[in-house]
Structure 1
Protein backbone atom coordinates (compact mmCIF):
# COMPACT_ATOMS: atom_id res chain seq x y z
CA UNK A 1 0.00 0.00 0.00
CA UNK A 2 1.51 3.31 -1.14
CA UNK A 3 0.11 5.85 1.34
CA UNK A 4 1.93 9.13 0.86
CA UNK A 5 1.60 11.85 3.50
CA UNK A 6 0.94 14.35 0.70
CA UNK A 7 -2.28 12.49 -0.08
CA UNK A 8 -3.45 12.81 3.52
CA UNK A 9 -2.65 16.52 3.49
CA UNK A 10 -4.75 16.89 0.33
CA UNK A 11 -7.70 15.12 1.96
CA UNK A 12 -7.34 17.29 5.06
CA UNK A 13 -7.35 20.47 2.96
CA UNK A 14 -10.39 19.36 0.98
CA UNK A 15 -12.29 18.52 4.17
CA UNK A 16 -11.39 21.84 5.79
CA UNK A 17 -12.13 23.98 2.73
CA UNK A 18 -15.12 22.05 1.33
CA UNK A 19 -13.86 22.82 -2.15
CA UNK A 20 -11.23 21.43 -4.50
CA UNK A 21 -10.49 24.95 -5.72
CA UNK A 22 -9.95 26.41 -2.26
CA UNK A 23 -7.94 23.34 -1.18
CA UNK A 24 -5.73 23.79 -4.24
CA UNK A 25 -5.10 27.42 -3.29
CA UNK A 26 -4.23 26.45 0.28
CA UNK A 27 -1.79 23.79 -0.92
CA UNK A 28 -0.43 26.01 -3.72
CA UNK A 29 -1.32 23.37 -6.28
CA UNK A 30 -3.63 23.19 -9.29
CA UNK A 31 -7.19 21.92 -8.86
CA UNK A 32 -6.42 19.03 -11.20
CA UNK A 33 -3.44 18.00 -9.05
CA UNK A 34 -5.55 17.97 -5.88
CA UNK A 35 -8.29 15.96 -7.59
CA UNK A 36 -5.64 13.51 -8.80
CA UNK A 37 -4.29 13.05 -5.26
CA UNK A 38 -7.77 12.40 -3.89
CA UNK A 39 -8.38 9.78 -6.62
CA UNK A 40 -5.03 8.17 -5.78
CA UNK A 41 -5.99 8.04 -2.10
CA UNK A 42 -9.35 6.50 -3.01
CA UNK A 43 -7.54 3.77 -4.94
CA UNK A 44 -5.49 3.03 -1.82
CA UNK A 45 -8.66 2.95 0.31
CA UNK A 46 -10.64 0.96 -2.26
CA UNK A 47 -13.69 3.16 -1.71
CA UNK A 48 -14.84 6.75 -2.41
CA UNK A 49 -13.66 9.26 0.18
CA UNK A 50 -15.31 12.45 -1.11
CA UNK A 51 -18.72 13.21 -2.58
CA UNK A 52 -19.21 16.00 -5.11
CA UNK A 53 -22.05 18.40 -4.43
CA UNK A 54 -23.36 21.40 -6.32
CA UNK A 55 -21.91 23.68 -3.65
CA UNK A 56 -18.58 21.79 -3.33
CA UNK A 57 -17.38 18.49 -1.84
CA UNK A 58 -17.92 16.62 1.42
CA UNK A 59 -16.35 13.52 2.90
CA UNK A 60 -18.04 10.15 2.82
CA UNK A 61 -18.19 8.01 5.97
CA UNK A 62 -15.01 6.26 4.79
CA UNK A 63 -13.48 9.66 4.14
CA UNK A 64 -14.24 10.70 7.73
CA UNK A 65 -12.36 7.61 8.97
CA UNK A 66 -9.40 8.45 6.76
CA UNK A 67 -9.48 12.08 7.90
CA UNK A 68 -9.60 11.27 11.62
CA UNK A 69 -6.77 8.74 11.59
CA UNK A 70 -4.89 10.60 8.88
CA UNK A 71 -4.79 13.74 11.04
CA UNK A 72 -3.44 11.68 13.93
CA UNK A 73 -0.77 10.29 11.63
CA UNK A 74 0.13 13.77 10.34
CA UNK A 75 0.34 15.12 13.90
CA UNK A 76 2.57 12.24 14.99
CA UNK A 77 4.75 12.74 11.92
CA UNK A 78 5.12 16.47 12.58
CA UNK A 79 6.02 15.74 16.20
CA UNK A 80 8.56 13.14 15.12
CA UNK A 81 10.24 15.53 12.69
CA UNK A 82 10.22 18.40 15.19
CA UNK A 83 11.73 16.27 17.95
CA UNK A 84 14.39 14.90 15.60
CA UNK A 85 15.32 18.44 14.60
CA UNK A 86 15.51 19.51 18.23
CA UNK A 87 17.69 16.55 19.12
CA UNK A 88 19.91 17.21 16.14
CA UNK A 89 20.29 20.84 17.16
CA UNK A 90 20.94 19.95 20.79
CA UNK A 91 17.64 21.32 22.06
CA UNK A 92 15.94 18.14 23.20
CA UNK A 93 16.89 15.08 25.19
CA UNK A 94 17.97 14.33 28.75
CA UNK A 95 20.62 15.89 30.96
CA UNK A 96 21.70 14.08 34.13
CA UNK A 97 23.43 16.59 36.38
CA UNK A 98 25.41 15.69 39.49
CA UNK A 99 25.44 18.42 42.12
CA UNK A 100 25.90 19.25 45.78
CA UNK A 101 22.81 21.02 47.08
CA UNK A 102 24.73 23.34 49.40
CA UNK A 103 26.91 24.54 46.51
CA UNK A 104 24.25 25.04 43.85
CA UNK A 105 20.95 25.85 45.58
CA UNK A 106 21.44 29.56 44.86
CA UNK A 107 21.64 29.14 41.07
CA UNK A 108 20.83 25.63 39.78
CA UNK A 109 17.02 26.05 39.83
CA UNK A 110 17.47 29.19 37.73
CA UNK A 111 19.70 27.28 35.30
CA UNK A 112 16.98 24.66 34.83
CA UNK A 113 14.35 27.38 34.33
CA UNK A 114 16.56 29.08 31.76
CA UNK A 115 17.16 25.78 29.98
CA UNK A 116 13.44 25.08 29.72
CA UNK A 117 12.81 28.58 28.42
CA UNK A 118 15.18 27.92 25.52
CA UNK A 119 14.44 24.22 25.07
CA UNK A 120 11.15 23.16 26.74
CA UNK A 121 11.63 19.50 25.84
CA UNK A 122 14.94 19.06 27.66
CA UNK A 123 14.55 16.73 30.63
CA UNK A 124 16.82 17.63 33.55
CA UNK A 125 17.60 14.76 35.94
CA UNK A 126 19.24 16.01 39.17
CA UNK A 127 21.63 13.62 40.93
CA UNK A 128 22.58 14.72 44.45
CA UNK A 129 26.07 13.70 45.61
CA UNK A 130 28.23 14.42 48.66
CA UNK A 131 31.90 14.50 47.65
CA UNK A 132 34.23 15.13 44.73
CA UNK A 133 34.90 11.37 44.27
CA UNK A 134 31.14 10.79 44.10
CA UNK A 135 30.79 13.31 41.28
CA UNK A 136 33.77 12.08 39.29
CA UNK A 137 32.65 8.45 39.69
CA UNK A 138 29.19 9.36 38.36
CA UNK A 139 30.74 10.97 35.29
CA UNK A 140 33.14 8.10 34.67
CA UNK A 141 30.40 5.49 35.13
CA UNK A 142 28.13 7.30 32.71
CA UNK A 143 25.35 7.84 35.25
CA UNK A 144 25.80 11.62 35.01
CA UNK A 145 26.39 13.74 31.92
CA UNK A 146 27.79 16.76 33.75
CA UNK A 147 28.57 17.93 37.25
CA UNK A 148 28.89 21.19 39.14
CA UNK A 149 31.90 20.91 41.42
CA UNK A 150 34.63 22.85 43.10
CA UNK A 151 38.08 23.18 41.60
CA UNK A 152 40.64 21.72 41.61
CA UNK A 153 39.55 18.17 40.78
CA UNK A 154 43.01 16.61 40.51
CA UNK A 155 42.31 15.13 37.05
CA UNK A 156 42.49 17.56 34.15
CA UNK A 157 43.12 15.01 31.39
CA UNK A 158 39.80 13.17 31.23
CA UNK A 159 37.49 16.11 31.86
CA UNK A 160 36.48 19.38 30.26
CA UNK A 161 36.20 22.08 32.90
CA UNK A 162 34.45 25.47 32.69
CA UNK A 163 34.84 27.79 35.67
CA UNK A 164 31.58 29.59 36.39
CA UNK A 165 32.02 31.57 39.58
CA UNK A 166 34.33 32.27 42.51
CA UNK A 167 33.39 32.34 46.16
CA UNK A 168 35.29 33.40 49.27
CA UNK A 169 36.04 30.82 51.94
CA UNK A 170 34.29 30.86 55.28
CA UNK A 171 35.13 29.04 58.50
CA UNK A 172 32.69 27.27 60.80
CA UNK A 173 33.79 27.60 64.43
CA UNK A 174 32.53 25.55 67.41
CA UNK A 175 30.50 27.09 70.23
CA UNK A 176 32.58 29.25 72.58
CA UNK A 177 35.62 29.24 70.31
CA UNK A 178 38.31 31.78 71.11
CA UNK A 179 37.82 33.43 67.70
CA UNK A 180 34.02 33.44 67.71
CA UNK A 181 33.86 37.11 68.72
CA UNK A 182 35.69 38.23 65.56
CA UNK A 183 33.98 39.59 62.44
CA UNK A 184 36.44 37.91 60.06
CA UNK A 185 39.50 35.67 60.09
CA UNK A 186 42.89 35.40 58.43
CA UNK A 187 44.70 32.19 57.62
CA UNK A 188 47.26 32.93 60.32
CA UNK A 189 44.45 32.77 62.89
CA UNK A 190 44.06 29.06 62.15
CA UNK A 191 47.56 28.07 63.31
CA UNK A 192 47.28 24.90 65.41
CA UNK A 193 43.55 24.80 64.67
CA UNK A 194 42.36 21.26 63.67
CA UNK A 195 40.53 21.44 60.35
CA UNK A 196 37.83 18.86 59.62
CA UNK A 197 36.79 17.75 56.15
CA UNK A 198 36.81 14.86 53.66
CA UNK A 199 40.15 13.32 52.69
CA UNK A 200 39.68 9.64 51.81
CA UNK A 201 39.63 9.13 48.05
CA UNK A 202 40.62 12.74 47.41
CA UNK A 203 43.76 13.59 45.41
CA UNK A 204 46.50 14.90 47.68
CA UNK A 205 46.72 18.21 45.84
CA UNK A 206 42.98 18.75 46.29
CA UNK A 207 43.16 18.04 50.02
CA UNK A 208 46.05 20.45 50.48
CA UNK A 209 44.19 23.16 48.55
CA UNK A 210 41.09 22.90 50.72
CA UNK A 211 42.99 22.65 53.99
CA UNK A 212 45.40 25.45 52.93
CA UNK A 213 48.42 23.24 53.51
CA UNK A 214 51.07 24.55 53.74
CA UNK A 215 50.06 27.92 55.10
CA UNK A 216 51.54 31.15 53.68
CA UNK A 217 54.14 31.19 56.47
CA UNK A 218 55.25 27.65 55.63
CA UNK A 219 53.56 25.98 58.60
CA UNK A 220 51.54 22.83 58.09
CA UNK A 221 47.80 22.50 58.54
CA UNK A 222 46.51 20.41 61.42
CA UNK A 223 44.17 17.72 60.16
CA UNK A 224 41.17 17.04 62.33
CA UNK A 225 38.52 14.30 62.00
CA UNK A 226 37.18 13.45 58.57
CA UNK A 227 33.65 14.32 57.60
CA UNK A 228 32.35 12.92 54.34
CA UNK A 229 29.24 15.11 54.16
CA UNK A 230 28.60 18.70 55.24
CA UNK A 231 26.39 17.40 58.02
CA UNK A 232 29.22 15.21 59.35
CA UNK A 233 31.68 18.10 59.16
CA UNK A 234 29.32 20.40 61.03
CA UNK A 235 28.72 17.75 63.67
CA UNK A 236 32.47 17.50 64.30
CA UNK A 237 32.64 21.28 64.60
CA UNK A 238 29.66 21.41 66.95
CA UNK A 239 31.31 18.73 69.10
CA UNK A 240 34.42 20.91 69.41
CA UNK A 241 36.71 18.65 67.38
CA UNK A 242 37.88 21.35 64.99
CA UNK A 243 36.83 23.99 62.45
CA UNK A 244 35.66 23.60 58.86
CA UNK A 245 36.66 25.68 55.82
CA UNK A 246 33.89 25.86 53.24
CA UNK A 247 32.55 28.07 50.43
CA UNK A 248 30.37 31.07 51.24
CA UNK A 249 27.35 29.36 49.66
CA UNK A 250 27.73 26.45 52.06
CA UNK A 251 27.85 28.83 55.01
CA UNK A 252 24.60 30.39 53.80
CA UNK A 253 22.99 26.98 53.22
CA UNK A 254 23.87 25.65 56.70
CA UNK A 255 23.14 28.27 59.38
CA UNK A 256 23.91 25.58 61.93
CA UNK A 257 22.54 26.26 65.45
CA UNK A 258 25.10 27.52 67.96
CA UNK A 259 27.96 27.60 65.42
CA UNK A 260 29.64 30.74 64.14
CA UNK A 261 30.50 31.28 60.46
CA UNK A 262 33.22 33.85 59.69
CA UNK A 263 34.76 34.89 56.35
CA UNK A 264 38.39 33.95 55.75
CA UNK A 265 39.75 37.15 54.27
CA UNK A 266 43.16 36.27 52.83
CA UNK A 267 42.56 32.75 51.48
CA UNK A 268 42.42 32.05 47.75
CA UNK A 269 38.81 31.96 46.52
CA UNK A 270 37.10 28.73 45.58
CA UNK A 271 36.07 28.24 41.95
CA UNK A 272 32.91 26.36 41.00
CA UNK A 273 32.99 24.72 37.57
CA UNK A 274 30.77 22.77 35.21
CA UNK A 275 32.63 19.69 33.98
CA UNK A 276 32.06 16.64 31.82
CA UNK A 277 34.08 13.88 30.22
CA UNK A 278 36.08 14.97 27.20
CA UNK A 279 34.64 12.07 25.20
CA UNK A 280 31.04 13.06 25.95
CA UNK A 281 29.48 14.37 22.72
CA UNK A 282 26.02 15.16 24.11
CA UNK A 283 25.06 18.39 22.28
CA UNK A 284 23.00 19.51 25.27
CA UNK A 285 26.18 20.12 27.26
CA UNK A 286 26.98 23.28 25.31
CA UNK A 287 23.46 24.53 25.95
CA UNK A 288 23.80 23.74 29.66
CA UNK A 289 27.07 25.64 29.78
CA UNK A 290 25.61 28.65 27.96
CA UNK A 291 22.64 28.91 30.31
CA UNK A 292 24.82 28.28 33.38
CA UNK A 293 27.08 31.15 32.38
CA UNK A 294 24.06 33.36 31.78
CA UNK A 295 22.63 32.64 35.23
CA UNK A 296 25.89 32.89 37.20
CA UNK A 297 27.23 35.95 35.37
CA UNK A 298 27.64 38.82 37.85
CA UNK A 299 24.93 41.46 37.60
CA UNK A 300 26.37 44.85 36.54
CA UNK A 301 26.27 47.42 39.32
Structure 2
Protein backbone atom coordinates (compact mmCIF):
# COMPACT_ATOMS: atom_id res chain seq x y z
CA UNK A 1 0.00 0.00 0.00
CA UNK A 2 1.37 3.43 -0.90
CA UNK A 3 0.00 6.95 -0.83
CA UNK A 4 0.36 7.35 -4.59
CA UNK A 5 -2.06 4.47 -5.13
CA UNK A 6 -4.59 6.11 -2.82
CA UNK A 7 -4.09 9.42 -4.63
CA UNK A 8 -4.81 7.69 -7.94
CA UNK A 9 -8.04 6.20 -6.58
CA UNK A 10 -9.13 9.56 -5.19
CA UNK A 11 -8.43 11.31 -8.48
CA UNK A 12 -10.32 8.70 -10.51
CA UNK A 13 -13.30 8.97 -8.17
CA UNK A 14 -13.27 12.77 -8.31
CA UNK A 15 -12.92 12.98 -12.09
CA UNK A 16 -14.97 9.92 -13.10
CA UNK A 17 -12.41 9.20 -15.80
CA UNK A 18 -8.95 7.65 -16.05
CA UNK A 19 -7.98 10.25 -18.66
CA UNK A 20 -9.02 13.26 -16.58
CA UNK A 21 -7.48 11.74 -13.44
CA UNK A 22 -4.21 11.30 -15.33
CA UNK A 23 -4.30 14.95 -16.33
CA UNK A 24 -4.87 15.97 -12.72
CA UNK A 25 -1.99 13.81 -11.50
CA UNK A 26 0.32 14.73 -14.38
CA UNK A 27 0.59 11.06 -15.36
CA UNK A 28 -0.33 9.03 -18.41
CA UNK A 29 -3.69 7.27 -18.58
CA UNK A 30 -1.84 3.95 -18.65
CA UNK A 31 0.04 4.82 -15.46
CA UNK A 32 -3.16 5.66 -13.60
CA UNK A 33 -4.87 2.47 -14.82
CA UNK A 34 -1.86 0.49 -13.66
CA UNK A 35 -1.97 2.08 -10.21
CA UNK A 36 -5.67 1.24 -9.85
CA UNK A 37 -4.98 -2.39 -10.86
CA UNK A 38 -2.10 -2.55 -8.40
CA UNK A 39 -4.31 -1.22 -5.62
CA UNK A 40 -6.99 -3.78 -6.50
CA UNK A 41 -4.40 -6.55 -6.22
CA UNK A 42 -3.37 -5.28 -2.79
CA UNK A 43 -6.96 -5.16 -1.55
CA UNK A 44 -8.04 -8.30 -3.40
CA UNK A 45 -11.27 -6.96 -4.90
CA UNK A 46 -12.42 -4.60 -7.70
CA UNK A 47 -12.45 -0.96 -6.63
CA UNK A 48 -13.85 0.72 -9.77
CA UNK A 49 -16.47 -0.10 -12.36
CA UNK A 50 -17.04 1.45 -15.75
CA UNK A 51 -20.52 2.72 -16.51
CA UNK A 52 -21.97 4.71 -19.43
CA UNK A 53 -21.75 7.87 -17.33
CA UNK A 54 -18.11 7.29 -16.38
CA UNK A 55 -16.05 5.42 -13.81
CA UNK A 56 -17.58 4.92 -10.37
CA UNK A 57 -16.23 3.32 -7.21
CA UNK A 58 -17.49 -0.02 -5.95
CA UNK A 59 -18.59 -0.33 -2.33
CA UNK A 60 -15.06 -1.50 -1.47
CA UNK A 61 -13.62 1.43 -3.41
CA UNK A 62 -15.74 3.90 -1.46
CA UNK A 63 -14.46 2.47 1.82
CA UNK A 64 -10.86 2.64 0.64
CA UNK A 65 -11.26 6.20 -0.62
CA UNK A 66 -12.82 7.36 2.65
CA UNK A 67 -10.17 5.72 4.83
CA UNK A 68 -7.43 6.72 2.40
CA UNK A 69 -8.46 10.36 2.63
CA UNK A 70 -7.51 10.34 6.30
CA UNK A 71 -4.09 8.88 5.47
CA UNK A 72 -3.50 11.41 2.70
CA UNK A 73 -4.54 14.25 4.97
CA UNK A 74 -2.24 13.03 7.72
CA UNK A 75 0.65 12.74 5.30
CA UNK A 76 0.03 16.24 3.96
CA UNK A 77 -0.16 17.62 7.49
CA UNK A 78 3.18 15.96 8.25
CA UNK A 79 4.76 17.60 5.21
CA UNK A 80 3.23 20.95 6.12
CA UNK A 81 4.51 20.81 9.67
CA UNK A 82 7.96 19.78 8.53
CA UNK A 83 8.05 22.55 5.95
CA UNK A 84 7.07 25.16 8.51
CA UNK A 85 9.53 23.80 11.07
CA UNK A 86 12.36 23.97 8.57
CA UNK A 87 11.70 27.47 7.31
CA UNK A 88 10.14 29.21 10.28
CA UNK A 89 7.56 31.74 9.19
CA UNK A 90 7.32 31.13 5.45
CA UNK A 91 6.54 33.63 2.71
CA UNK A 92 2.84 34.33 2.13
CA UNK A 93 0.93 32.02 -0.18
CA UNK A 94 -0.26 34.40 -2.88
CA UNK A 95 -3.55 33.53 -4.56
CA UNK A 96 -5.05 35.40 -7.49
CA UNK A 97 -8.83 35.21 -7.73
CA UNK A 98 -12.08 36.86 -8.76
CA UNK A 99 -14.06 37.86 -5.68
CA UNK A 100 -17.43 36.79 -7.05
CA UNK A 101 -16.09 33.30 -7.82
CA UNK A 102 -14.65 32.53 -4.39
CA UNK A 103 -16.64 34.51 -1.81
CA UNK A 104 -18.88 31.54 -1.00
CA UNK A 105 -16.03 29.27 0.12
CA UNK A 106 -12.77 31.18 0.74
CA UNK A 107 -13.54 32.22 4.35
CA UNK A 108 -13.94 28.55 5.27
CA UNK A 109 -10.75 27.64 3.41
CA UNK A 110 -8.76 30.33 5.18
CA UNK A 111 -10.08 29.23 8.57
CA UNK A 112 -9.09 25.62 7.85
CA UNK A 113 -5.62 26.68 6.72
CA UNK A 114 -5.10 28.74 9.87
CA UNK A 115 -6.10 25.75 11.99
CA UNK A 116 -3.69 23.37 10.24
CA UNK A 117 -0.82 25.76 9.52
CA UNK A 118 -1.06 28.75 11.89
CA UNK A 119 2.12 30.34 10.52
CA UNK A 120 0.87 30.31 6.96
CA UNK A 121 -0.28 33.67 5.62
CA UNK A 122 -2.68 33.61 2.67
CA UNK A 123 -2.38 36.76 0.57
CA UNK A 124 -5.22 37.40 -1.93
CA UNK A 125 -4.57 39.16 -5.24
CA UNK A 126 -7.74 40.31 -6.99
CA UNK A 127 -7.92 40.02 -10.77
CA UNK A 128 -10.56 40.50 -13.45
CA UNK A 129 -9.54 38.60 -16.56
CA UNK A 130 -7.89 35.32 -17.50
CA UNK A 131 -4.79 37.02 -19.01
CA UNK A 132 -4.27 38.89 -15.72
CA UNK A 133 -4.45 35.66 -13.71
CA UNK A 134 -2.12 33.70 -15.97
CA UNK A 135 0.37 36.57 -16.14
CA UNK A 136 0.48 36.73 -12.34
CA UNK A 137 1.43 33.04 -12.23
CA UNK A 138 4.00 33.21 -15.02
CA UNK A 139 5.66 36.34 -13.61
CA UNK A 140 5.85 34.87 -10.10
CA UNK A 141 3.55 37.49 -8.56
CA UNK A 142 1.14 34.71 -7.54
CA UNK A 143 1.62 31.10 -6.49
CA UNK A 144 -1.81 29.80 -7.54
CA UNK A 145 -5.05 31.00 -9.07
CA UNK A 146 -8.74 30.28 -8.75
CA UNK A 147 -10.14 30.72 -12.24
CA UNK A 148 -12.75 29.51 -14.68
CA UNK A 149 -12.00 26.88 -17.29
CA UNK A 150 -11.12 26.66 -20.08
CA UNK A 151 -7.76 28.44 -20.15
CA UNK A 152 -6.79 27.30 -23.64
CA UNK A 153 -4.14 24.78 -24.61
CA UNK A 154 -1.49 25.87 -22.10
CA UNK A 155 0.94 23.19 -20.84
CA UNK A 156 2.58 25.47 -18.26
CA UNK A 157 0.04 24.81 -15.51
CA UNK A 158 -1.29 22.05 -13.30
CA UNK A 159 -5.08 22.26 -13.39
CA UNK A 160 -7.40 20.95 -10.65
CA UNK A 161 -11.13 21.29 -11.53
CA UNK A 162 -13.17 22.04 -8.42
CA UNK A 163 -16.86 22.66 -8.99
CA UNK A 164 -19.33 23.24 -11.85
CA UNK A 165 -21.77 26.15 -11.86
CA UNK A 166 -24.83 26.80 -14.00
CA UNK A 167 -24.65 29.74 -16.36
CA UNK A 168 -27.02 32.70 -16.02
CA UNK A 169 -27.81 35.62 -18.29
CA UNK A 170 -28.13 39.26 -17.24
CA UNK A 171 -30.72 41.12 -19.35
CA UNK A 172 -31.33 44.89 -19.57
CA UNK A 173 -34.56 46.42 -18.29
CA UNK A 174 -37.47 46.07 -20.70
CA UNK A 175 -35.84 43.30 -22.72
CA UNK A 176 -38.40 41.07 -24.51
CA UNK A 177 -37.00 37.99 -22.71
CA UNK A 178 -37.16 39.36 -19.17
CA UNK A 179 -40.60 37.87 -18.46
CA UNK A 180 -39.29 34.32 -18.98
CA UNK A 181 -38.46 32.04 -16.07
CA UNK A 182 -35.46 30.52 -17.86
CA UNK A 183 -33.63 30.76 -21.15
CA UNK A 184 -32.15 28.43 -23.75
CA UNK A 185 -29.16 29.27 -25.91
CA UNK A 186 -31.42 29.59 -28.96
CA UNK A 187 -33.30 32.40 -27.21
CA UNK A 188 -30.17 34.55 -27.40
CA UNK A 189 -30.03 34.53 -31.21
CA UNK A 190 -29.25 38.07 -32.32
CA UNK A 191 -28.71 39.34 -28.75
CA UNK A 192 -25.25 40.96 -28.38
CA UNK A 193 -23.11 39.33 -25.70
CA UNK A 194 -20.93 41.58 -23.54
CA UNK A 195 -17.59 40.52 -22.08
CA UNK A 196 -13.80 40.54 -22.48
CA UNK A 197 -12.22 39.21 -25.69
CA UNK A 198 -8.87 40.94 -26.24
CA UNK A 199 -5.95 38.76 -25.22
CA UNK A 200 -8.14 35.69 -24.78
CA UNK A 201 -7.42 32.39 -26.56
CA UNK A 202 -9.98 31.75 -29.28
CA UNK A 203 -11.27 28.61 -27.55
CA UNK A 204 -11.91 30.59 -24.37
CA UNK A 205 -13.86 33.28 -26.22
CA UNK A 206 -15.88 30.61 -28.03
CA UNK A 207 -16.81 28.99 -24.72
CA UNK A 208 -17.84 32.14 -22.86
CA UNK A 209 -19.79 33.63 -25.75
CA UNK A 210 -21.18 30.23 -26.84
CA UNK A 211 -19.90 30.71 -30.37
CA UNK A 212 -20.96 29.07 -32.57
CA UNK A 213 -24.37 28.19 -31.18
CA UNK A 214 -25.64 24.57 -31.26
CA UNK A 215 -27.57 25.29 -34.46
CA UNK A 216 -24.45 26.63 -36.16
CA UNK A 217 -25.34 30.32 -36.00
CA UNK A 218 -22.71 32.74 -34.74
CA UNK A 219 -22.87 34.76 -31.55
CA UNK A 220 -23.24 38.52 -31.84
CA UNK A 221 -20.40 40.26 -30.02
CA UNK A 222 -21.39 43.28 -27.99
CA UNK A 223 -19.09 45.87 -26.40
CA UNK A 224 -16.03 44.59 -24.57
CA UNK A 225 -15.73 44.94 -20.79
CA UNK A 226 -13.04 43.71 -18.42
CA UNK A 227 -14.72 43.83 -15.01
CA UNK A 228 -18.10 42.58 -13.78
CA UNK A 229 -19.03 46.14 -12.90
CA UNK A 230 -18.35 47.23 -16.49
CA UNK A 231 -20.39 44.31 -17.84
CA UNK A 232 -23.33 45.15 -15.58
CA UNK A 233 -23.19 48.82 -16.54
CA UNK A 234 -23.26 48.00 -20.25
CA UNK A 235 -26.15 45.57 -19.79
CA UNK A 236 -28.13 48.13 -17.77
CA UNK A 237 -27.52 50.67 -20.53
CA UNK A 238 -29.11 48.31 -23.06
CA UNK A 239 -25.99 47.26 -25.02
CA UNK A 240 -26.64 43.52 -24.75
CA UNK A 241 -26.61 40.61 -22.31
CA UNK A 242 -23.89 39.12 -20.10
CA UNK A 243 -23.45 35.36 -19.56
CA UNK A 244 -21.89 34.58 -16.18
CA UNK A 245 -21.56 31.80 -13.57
CA UNK A 246 -24.24 31.35 -10.93
CA UNK A 247 -22.02 32.69 -8.13
CA UNK A 248 -21.91 36.04 -9.92
CA UNK A 249 -25.68 36.38 -9.60
CA UNK A 250 -25.58 36.19 -5.81
CA UNK A 251 -22.50 38.40 -5.48
CA UNK A 252 -23.55 41.32 -7.70
CA UNK A 253 -26.95 42.90 -7.15
CA UNK A 254 -28.22 45.48 -9.60
CA UNK A 255 -31.56 47.28 -9.29
CA UNK A 256 -32.31 47.37 -13.03
CA UNK A 257 -31.27 43.95 -14.31
CA UNK A 258 -32.99 40.58 -14.63
CA UNK A 259 -30.95 37.39 -14.20
CA UNK A 260 -32.25 34.20 -15.83
CA UNK A 261 -30.76 30.69 -15.83
CA UNK A 262 -29.43 29.41 -19.15
CA UNK A 263 -30.65 25.85 -18.81
CA UNK A 264 -29.04 24.14 -21.81
CA UNK A 265 -25.55 25.70 -21.73
CA UNK A 266 -22.45 23.79 -20.71
CA UNK A 267 -21.68 24.77 -17.09
CA UNK A 268 -18.76 26.87 -15.98
CA UNK A 269 -16.10 24.94 -14.04
CA UNK A 270 -14.01 26.63 -11.37
CA UNK A 271 -10.45 25.34 -11.00
CA UNK A 272 -7.36 25.84 -8.88
CA UNK A 273 -4.21 26.00 -10.98
CA UNK A 274 -0.51 26.61 -10.38
CA UNK A 275 2.72 26.44 -12.43
CA UNK A 276 3.82 22.90 -13.16
CA UNK A 277 7.31 23.53 -11.85
CA UNK A 278 5.99 24.48 -8.39
CA UNK A 279 6.84 22.04 -5.60
CA UNK A 280 5.31 24.00 -2.73
CA UNK A 281 3.45 21.52 -0.47
CA UNK A 282 1.25 24.37 0.73
CA UNK A 283 -0.50 24.33 -2.62
CA UNK A 284 -1.67 20.77 -2.06
CA UNK A 285 -2.88 21.76 1.39
CA UNK A 286 -4.80 24.64 -0.19
CA UNK A 287 -6.34 22.26 -2.74
CA UNK A 288 -7.33 19.76 -0.07
CA UNK A 289 -8.97 22.35 2.16
CA UNK A 290 -10.75 23.97 -0.79
CA UNK A 291 -12.27 20.66 -1.88
CA UNK A 292 -13.47 20.08 1.68
CA UNK A 293 -15.05 23.52 1.90
CA UNK A 294 -16.78 23.46 -1.46
CA UNK A 295 -20.40 22.45 -1.83
CA UNK A 296 -22.25 22.71 -5.14
CA UNK A 297 -24.30 25.86 -5.56
CA UNK A 298 -28.01 25.03 -5.85
CA UNK A 299 -29.38 24.89 -9.36
CA UNK A 300 -32.32 27.09 -10.20
CA UNK A 301 -35.58 25.45 -9.22
CA UNK A 302 -38.90 26.52 -10.64
CA UNK A 303 -39.60 28.57 -7.52
CA UNK A 304 -36.21 30.27 -7.60
CA UNK A 305 -36.57 31.10 -11.25
CA UNK A 306 -39.66 33.11 -10.45
CA UNK A 307 -37.54 35.38 -8.22
CA UNK A 308 -34.75 36.36 -10.55
CA UNK A 309 -34.92 40.15 -10.65
CA UNK A 310 -32.16 41.67 -8.55
Distance 1:152 1:216 in 2: 18
Q: Aligned to 2:245, which of 239, 244, 247?
A: 247
Alignment partner, residue 154 of structure 2? 156
Cα-to-partner distance string for 1:47-87 (whole Å, 9 max, x where unaligned): xxxxxxxxxxxxxxxxxxxxxxxxxxxxxxxxxxx986525
Distance 1:230 1:173 in 2: 14
Alignment partner, residue 102 of structure 1? 100
Alignment partner, residue 205 of structure 2? 207
Distance 2:217 2:151 in 1: 24
Distance 1:208 1:110 in 2: 33
Q: TM-score, normalised by structure 1?
A: 0.69
* Residue aligned with 2:250, SS: helix
Q: How many residues align?
A: 218
User: Retained in 1: the 8 A contact 2:146–2:271?
Assistant: yes
User: Retained in 1: the 8 A contact 2:147–2:271?
Assistant: yes
* Residue aligned with 1:175, SS: coil
Answering whether residue 274 of structure 2 is matched by residue 290 of structure 1, we say: no
Q: CA RMSD in A?
A: 2.0
The residue correspondences of 1:49-198 to structure 2 (distance < 5 A) are 85-88=83-86, 93-198=91-196
User: Retained in 2: the 8 A contact 1:93–1:121?
Assistant: no
Distance 1:132 1:248 in 2: 18
Cα-to-partner distance string for 1:89-136 (whole Å, 9 max, x where unaligned): 999552100000011111111111111111111100010011111100
Alignment partner, residue 266 of structure 1? 264
* Residue aligned with 2:96, SS: strand
Distance 1:298 1:204, change over 3 A: closer
User: Retained in 1: the 8 A contact 2:194–2:231?
Assistant: yes
Distance 1:90 1:182, change over 3 A: farther
Distance 1:139 1:108 in 2: 19
Q: TM-score, normalised by structure 2?
A: 0.67
Which segments of structure 1 move beyond 4 Å, counting only runs of 4 or more?
82-85, 87-93
User: Retained in 2: the 8 A contact 1:238–1:259?
Assistant: yes
